Chain A
């Protein structure tokens, strides 16, 4: 229990302070693409410097340390109750150490008790898998970018979007234009086609667990991802909405079944401060290796 808790504290610290390598590579590539002497270039340079400073000082990359989302893939017979208790203790400790801001507010009273613990926080998602290992992934999802996410119900008359892949494309690009730079772009889209309102948004978030430079194994979705990425980057919104060539760093789309009556497209927006890490745990709860 103690060992597991320490592992989770380290997972929280590293996620908050150290940008994953795939995201750093994408930001470096974006910086090469922007024209020299533009404000887009300056913004990306500040972002790079910020990533480096946070890592060196072991302090949060962004002060909004976000919603705390754990995704645990666990073997059959795993004790989820014990894990949840360890995760809560780890969150309490990581908050006391300054890796997480006092970031969780009682919705009814407006009170913030400074622990980051309460109904819904942290959020824990468990999945059983047919293997003996335990993988724990963590996303810290900022509020500013969460606010620019949106859900569409097809057909959408305003956008002339039908219930097909072209309709999906239209609404996803609409979400990009609506967001402008307000989600602290350049961002990454996690999209779900289908599902009900709740499962659709939840599934869109799991797309952020993918590596930025992976390719979607489903050919239609892969084409759509590439198309949205290139189209969005041709719109000139740019980092922070200052104008420029990098509006998005990536697009990740998944599809789940829907009811005949519904066709939802849910778009979650992740800011450049894309904080996501993961660990494979050994049987005593220690960290065997890092997943990203």
Chain B
């Protein structure tokens, strides 16, 4: 288990390999479909919000407001990352992301962007909404809430020991590609 914390440096990221299990502590930003499209088409983040050295989490959390006005994260599992493939490479380059967390893996363009800019794709356990919500200690802020609604907004979560697996590293390796090729070869033997 490799501990990682915010902010991440290129050196941290280049040291990671496909198959490494990590636990991330620190600031995590959420973003899903609307935000990806928005940022890739030239949209800006509010002043003071800087993704550099950070991780973007493909997640549409369920967040409730307590009577005292504090946000409480009720469920925060990953959503399917493949939908962001058209936008991800550009966002990694433009905003200096060091990591993307999601589920299901991403394609060749994102893999190339990870290698070029020193970024990794981290796979969280799909469906583990409760375990992952428990890792969120505090909601620090939320952006673009009015514009995109709660699940699609950019949430800043302070997380502790958030578990994920490196499935696409900064050296051009993809666990998804390897497993798919190996499983197809195994199947061919059994037909």
- Say whether B21 contacts A42, CB under 8 Å: yes
Q: Which residue of B lies closest to A148 (CB)?
A: B104
Q: Which of B19, B77, B130, B167 contacts A57 (CB 8 A)?
A: B130
- Say whether B129 contacts A61, CB under 8 Å: yes
Whether, in the assembled complex, B127 has its beta carbon less than 8 Å from a beta carbon of chain A, the answer is yes
Using A98-B74, A180-B179, A236-B186 as known contacts, say yes or no to A47 and B80 having CB atoms under 8 A apart: no
Whether, in the assembled complex, B76 has its beta carbon less than 8 Å from a beta carbon of chain A, the answer is yes
Measured in the bound complex, the distance between the Cα atoms of B21 and A184 in whole Å is 18
Whether, in the assembled complex, A285 has its beta carbon less than 8 Å from a beta carbon of chain B, the answer is no
Whether, in the assembled complex, B31 has its beta carbon less than 8 Å from a beta carbon of chain A, the answer is no
- Say whether A241 contacts B105, CB under 8 Å: yes
Total A-B contacts with CB atoms under 8 angstroms apart: 124
- Say whether B187 contacts A235, CB under 8 Å: yes
Whether, in the assembled complex, A4 has its beta carbon less than 8 Å from a beta carbon of chain B, the answer is no
Q: Which of A46, A144, A241 contacts B131 (CB 8 A)?
A: A46
Residues of A within 8 A of B21 (CB): 39, 42
Q: Which of A59, A63, A147, A241 contacts B61 (CB 8 A)?
A: A63
Measured in the bound complex, the distance between the Cα atoms of B186 and A257 in whole Å is 33
Measured in the bound complex, the distance between the Cα atoms of B176 and A138 in whole Å is 33
Count class of interface residues, chain A: 35 or more
Using A39-B19, A53-B130, A242-B123 as known contacts, say yes or no to A237 and B183 having CB atoms under 8 A apart: yes
Interface string of B92-129 (1 = CB under 8 A from A): 00000000000111000000000000000001011111
- Say whether B179 contacts A63, CB under 8 Å: no
- Say whether B167 contacts A242, CB under 8 Å: yes
- Say whether B129 contacts A60, CB under 8 Å: yes
- Say whether B126 contacts A63, CB under 8 Å: no
Q: How near does chain B come to A164, taking the closest CB pair, in angstroms?
A: 14
Interface string of B172-187 (1 = CB under 8 A from A): 0001100110111011
- Chain A residues touching B, majority SS: loop
Q: Which residue of A lies closest to B128 (CB)?
A: A50
- Say whether A271 contacts B74, CB under 8 Å: no
Measured in the bound complex, the distance between the Cα atoms of B129 and A61 in whole Å is 7
- Say whether B180 contacts A180, CB under 8 Å: yes
* Chain A contacts with B in 137-160, Cβ cutoff 8 A: 142, 144, 147
Whether, in the assembled complex, B165 has its beta carbon less than 8 Å from a beta carbon of chain A, the answer is yes
Interface string of A120-149 (1 = CB under 8 A from B): 000000000000000000000010100100
Residues of A within 8 A of B79 (CB): 144
Q: How near does chain A come to B148, taking the closest CB pair, in angstroms?
A: 12
Residues of A within 8 A of B125 (CB): 43, 46-47, 50, 240
Residues of B within 8 A of A173 (CB): 187, 190-191
Measured in the bound complex, the distance between the Cα atoms of B128 and A167 in whole Å is 36
- Say whether A271 contacts B131, CB under 8 Å: no
- Say whether A180 contacts B176, CB under 8 Å: yes
Interface string of A51-64 (1 = CB under 8 A from B): 00110010111111
- Say whether B127 contacts A142, CB under 8 Å: yes
Whether, in the assembled complex, B163 has its beta carbon less than 8 Å from a beta carbon of chain A, the answer is yes
Interface string of A81-102 (1 = CB under 8 A from B): 0000000000000000010010
- Say whether A242 contacts B187, CB under 8 Å: no
Residues of B within 8 A of A271 (CB): 126-127
Q: How near does chain B come to A173, taking the closest CB pair, in angstroms?
A: 6
Measured in the bound complex, the distance between the Cα atoms of B80 and A184 in whole Å is 10
Measured in the bound complex, the distance between the Cα atoms of B128 and A214 in whole Å is 27
Residues of A within 8 A of B127 (CB): 47, 50, 61-62, 64, 142, 184, 271-273
Residues of A within 8 A of B191 (CB): 170, 173
Q: How near does chain B come to A96, taking the closest CB pair, in angstroms?
A: 12
Whether, in the assembled complex, A250 has its beta carbon less than 8 Å from a beta carbon of chain B, the answer is no
Query: Nearest 5 pairs between A and B by C-beta?
Result: A63-B75, A184-B126, A53-B130, A62-B127, A63-B129
* Sample of 4 more A-B contacts, CB < 8 Å, known A53-B130, A180-B179: A53-B134, A98-B62, A144-B103, A144-B126
